[in-house]
Each structure stands twice: as structure tokens, then as C-alpha cells.
Amino acid sequence: MPIYEYACESCRHVTSALIRRGDAPASIACEHCRSTDTHRVISLPAVKLGPLNENKGKPSEEAQQHAKDQVMRDAADRVIHKTLKDMGR
């Protein structure tokens, strides 16, 4: 059975309904606000998305720790250099 989608004019909620082909009413009751002021919208063919890689583009814990260590080292270096400079070498 095809899935029809109805966009509500009152609340913009889209209600999906399984309706026998050729049997789709022009409007159905909005499942959100119960308004019948809905109109059928053409539902796009389901887009097949690949498996989402949650780690993609996100540094691993190890990389984050490494970056943190690097920041600490840089900060320590700066303090040491500043101290040496302040001491007039």
C-alpha cells in the first residue's frame, strides 16, 4: 500500500497514512490538531542513506587526549620561555 502524506494547513504537521491506491481522499484529519484542513502532498521516494558513521568527522578519544596533551605542552613551553625571558636569561 502506498503511503500518502497530508500537510496540515493549521499546524503544518504532516500526517502519513497508508491508503489503498486510488482510494486516497483529498484530505484527512490531522493527527496533531485534528483539523481536516489538510492537503495531500507528494511524498518523495525514500532516499536510501548509507549507514551513518557517528565517528566520522569527530576526533577519537585518543586524538582528543593527544590534542589536550599538546596544548598542555605548548602552555608549559610558553611559561618556561616567559620565565626565562623575565629572568633576563
Instruction: State the residues that interact with Zn ion by CB under 5 A.
Output: 8, 10-11, 13, 30, 32-33, 35
Q: Which is nearer to Zn ion, 25 or 59 (CB)?
A: 25
Nine cell digits for residue 80: 618556561
Q: Shortest Cβ distance from residue 48 to Zn ion (Å)? A: 29
Q: Which is nearer to Zn ion, 27 or 35 (CB)?
A: 35
Question: Exposure of 31 by Cβ count < 10 A (0-12 exposed, 13-18 middle, 19+ buried)?
Answer: middle
**The one-letter amino acid at 66:** H
Beta carbons within 8 Å of 26's beta carbon, 6+ residues apart: 39, 40
Q: Which is nearer to Zn ion, 10 or 16 (CB)?
A: 10
Q: Shortest Cβ distance from residue 22 to Zn ion (Å)? A: 25
- Stretch (H or E) spanning 7: strand 3-8
Q: Shortest Cβ distance from residue 20 to Zn ion (Å)? A: 23
